[in-house]
Amino acid sequence: MDIIYQRRSIRKYLDKPVEKEKLVEIIRAGMAAPSSENEQPWFFMVIDDKDILHKIPEFTWSAPVLKKSPCAILVCADVTYAKDPEDFWWVQDCAAATQNMLLEIEDQGLGGVWIGIHPEKDFVDGVKHLLNLPEQVVPFSLISLGYKGKIKEPTDRYYEERVYYNKWGEEY
Please report, for the domain that includes residue 158, its CATH number. Answer: 3.40.109.10
The domain of 115 spans: 2-162
What is the model's pLDDT at position 46? 98
User: What percentage of the chain carries pLDDT values higher than 70?
Assistant: 99
For residue 16, being part of any structural domain is answered with yes
Give the C-alpha separation, 157 to 159, whole Å: 6
CA distance 92 to 33: 10
Residue 171 resides in a domain: no
What pLDDT sits at residue 56?
Answer: 97
Q: Is 78 within a domain?
A: yes
Is residue 65 predicted with pLDDT exceeding 90? yes
Residue with the bigger pLDDT between 167 and 155: it is: 167
Cβ distance 74 to 131 under 8 Å? yes
Q: Which pLDDT score, from 0 to 100, does residue 80 have?
A: 93
130 assigned to some structural domain: yes
Is residue 172, in this structure, part of any structural domain at all? no
CA distance 26 to 18: 11
Q: Is the dihedral of CA 119, 40, 100, 75 positive or negative?
A: negative
pLDDT value at residue 103: 98
Q: Please, which pLDDT band fits residue 1 given cuts at 50, 70 and 90? A: confident
Interval 60-81 mean pLDDT:
95
Instruction: Give tens-digit pLDDT for 113-161.
Output: 999 999 999 999 999 999 999 999 999 999 999 999 999 999 889 999 9
The b/e string for 84-107 (b: 16+ C-beta within 10 A; e otherwise) is eeeeebbbebbbbbbbbbbbbbbe
Residue 55 counted as domain residue:
yes
Model confidence over 72-104: pLDDT tens digits?
Answer: 999 999 999 988 767 899 999 999 999 999 999
Looking at the structure of the chain, the number of domains it has is 1
In this predicted structure, what is the pLDDT of residue 43? 98
Contacts of 130 (CB under 8 A, 6+ apart): 52, 55, 56
C-alpha closest to that of 78 among 144, 140, 143, 129: 140
- pTM, to two decimals: 0.95
